[in-house]
Structure 1
């Protein structure tokens, strides 16, 4: 059985976001295709060429995938979910949390909680909501 993987939709900044996630998480970008590189690209609306058709970042046993919305289509942002991330140590979780908080919005400051040594919630500057766990489970 495969892990559940997140697929994010951005409004023209998927490439920047995915490169940031690759650097911050230490993952490996497996694919990043623009709409201009996709089969049938001539059918896309004007302004679509540089937008991301599909990106896939391998991290641990899973993938973080993304694309951009089509130009001219309504984009309501990301809401109603969060990407949960568990890191082995509290310092590593704090580092990732701080990187996501830079230019983003902290929903719950990173700190001790009853289920894990460290936890925090943050929406990064790209609009992705993260739930960061770090360290040993306490329950």
Structure 2
């Protein structure tokens, strides 16, 4: 079995993918816009969503995850209920990723040494996605 995160950005997916590329070196492996999908007899596209991202596959380190603009619902609330855990190769990289993800976001737990790690911090990024950044045990 293999479980992958699938994150919905409610109309901000392209902006988010660019941010993650700069912040943590994420690479878009595949991307499809709603206008590129075959016609769906069950439903129509919401006007103005043709250029939005229907599906993307992203590689971050050794992990492949997926993302979409989703329904682009102006009444949707912020993301909540989960975080992605990013384990960096070393302390310097981990702190760099933490600081990049925190830019424009909200630090929930500052970057610091803990009893389980030489470096750990929690942040909610500017898109509302929670991250737990850590250094692996030695």
Distance (Å, rounded) in 1 between the aligned partners of 2:72 and 2:110: 35
TM-score calculated relative to the size of structure 2: 0.88
TM-score calculated relative to the size of structure 1: 0.88
Structure richer in strand, relative to its length: 1
1:38 Cα offset (Å) = 1.5
- 1:46·1:71 contact (CA, 8 Å) conserved in 2? no
Cα RMSD of the aligned pairs, angstroms, is 1.9
1:78 Cα offset (Å) = 1.0
Matched, 1:137 2:134: no
Could you list the runs of 5+ residues in structure 1 that have no partner in the other structure?
none
Partner of 1:77: 78
1:6 Cα offset (Å) = 1.2
- 2:24·2:100 contact (CA, 8 Å) conserved in 1? no
Matched, 1:95 2:96: yes
SS in 2 for 1:137: coil
1:18 Cα offset (Å) = 1.1
Partner of 1:61: 62
Structure 1 residues 71 and 17, CA gap change in structure 2 (3 angstroms):
closer
String of CA shifts for 1:16-68, please: whole Å, max 9, x gaps. Answer: 10122123222321112111111227821211112110011112332121111
1:10 Cα offset (Å) = 0.9
**Pairs within 5 Å for 1:110-129:** 110-129=111-130
- 2:86·2:131 contact (CA, 8 Å) conserved in 1? yes
Distance (Å, rounded) in 2 between the aligned partners of 1:72 and 1:126: 15
- 1:69·1:75 contact (CA, 8 Å) conserved in 2? no
Distance (Å, rounded) in 2 between the aligned partners of 1:120 and 1:110: 4
Partner of 1:5: 4
* Range with greater deviation from structure 2 (111-120 or 58-67): 58-67
Could you list the runs of 5+ residues in structure 2 that have no partner in the other structure?
none
Structure 1 residues 97 and 39, CA gap change in structure 2 (3 angstroms):
same
Distance (Å, rounded) in 2 between the aligned partners of 1:119 and 1:90: 9
